[in-house]
Amino acid sequence: MKREYLNKFLNNEIIQFILYSPLIDYHQWSLLKFIKDNAKKIKRGEKIIDIGAGELKYKKYFKHCDYKSQDLGVGDSNWDFSQIDIKSSAYEIPEKDASFDYVLCTQVLEHLEFPEKAFAEFGRLLKIGGKLILTAPLGFGEHQIPYDFFRYTKNGLKSLGNRSNFKLVYIKPHGGIFINLEYILWKSKDIILPFKNIRFMKFLYFLIFFPLKILLGAIFIMLDQFDRKKTYTLNYNCIYEKII
């Protein structure tokens, strides 16, 4: 029950506005904006499958769609997978060929040992002209061990799509080297500070360092404007189109 109340608290629009602002968490802000913007473009009643949906973090943005969720049910040990529609491997999802207009796959690809098999399954599920909305990391540390296998460059993401009859029609980084540096600096506190595994202490540290986090966020966002290439980005937002 505590987990359920925590999820409701974190999913509150006001709390998300605070926590997922570019000054507090540029990555989560970029990710959420990408999902919400694309959800608005989907027509009412169109079919979408959320692959690796976890705790259905984005389901509420697709209320106007025919939405289905899929997950294998592994990952963070404290996650609640009870609301998942389809519990299966990402490589073999029990749905008919060409039965979806959209596939959503956010922060999942790094956890798949065989990404090409996953792309083949995305292609099988999508109608011709259907869209794959995908996000994947480049600059993150290992997580959800042992289910963490790869990091993805821009060309790597393009190549994966090409080999599975997808055209990469949009790709955008989550900032550049300075956004990445600010993220690493903030994460370093989890290594240095004591009692970091106690939930209360995590919350206390967040309150103490909150003003510094905002200041650093503003400074590093301004510095990041000097990085034009963005080759040290944290993450990529991608949209693919099935062409065959």
Provide the CATH number for the domain around residue 70.
3.40.50.150
What pLDDT shows up at residue 76? 83
pLDDT for 13:
60
Q: How far apart are CA 77 and CA 74, in angstroms?
A: 7
In this structure, is residue 92 part of a structural domain? yes
Q: The tokens of 74 are what? A: 């592994």
Q: What does the pLDDT read at residue 77? A: 80
Residues 93 and 195 in one domain: no
Q: Is the pLDDT of residue 2 over 70?
A: no
**Closest Cα to residue 152, out of 238, 63, 235, 35?**
235
9 within domain boundaries: no
Distance of CA 27 to the CA centre of its chain: 9
Query: Same domain, yes or no, for 73 and 107?
Result: yes
- One domain for residues 236 and 125: yes
List of residues 6+ apart from 52 with CB closer than 8 A: 70, 71, 72, 90, 105, 106, 107, 108, 111
The rounded distance, in Å, linking the Cα atoms of 163 and 160 is 5
* Same-domain pairing of 107 and 202: no
| Residues 196, 152 share a domain | no
Residue 135 has pLDDT above 60, yes or no: yes
Q: Is 105 exposed, middle or buried (0-12, 13-18, 19+ CB in 10 A)?
A: buried
pLDDT tops 80 at residue 14: no
Over residues 82-133, the pLDDT tens digits come to 999 999 999 999 999 999 999 999 999 999 999 999 999 999 999 999 999 9
Is there a single domain that holds both residue 192 and residue 95? no
Question: CA-CA distance, 181 to 119, in Å (whole number)?
Answer: 31
* Percentages (nearest 5) of helix, strand, coil residues in the chain: 40, 20, 40
pLDDT at 189: 84
Q: Whole domain around residue 132: which residue ranges?
A: 31-175+231-244
- Summarize pLDDT for 30-79 with one digit per residue, the tens: 999 999 999 999 999 999 999 999 999 999 999 999 999 999 999 788 89
Q: What is the pLDDT of residue 4?
A: 55
172: pLDDT strictly greater than 80: yes
- pLDDT higher at 104 or 19: 104
Residue 65 domain-assigned?
Answer: yes
The dihedral region occupied by 60, where left means phi > 0, alpha psi between -120 and 50, and beta the remainder, is: alpha
pLDDT digits (tens, 9 = 90+) for 191-233: 888 877 788 888 888 888 899 999 999 999 999 999 999 999 9
Whether 17 is in a domain gets the answer no
Confidence band of 11 (pLDDT split at 50, 70, 90): low
Residues 197 and 118 in one domain: no
- Label the pairing between strands 166-173 and 235-242: antiparallel
The pLDDT of residue 202 is 80
Are both 163 and 184 inside the same structural domain? no
pTM of the model: 0.90
- What is the pLDDT at residue 1? 46
What's the total number of domains in the chain? 2
One domain, residues 40 and 152 = yes
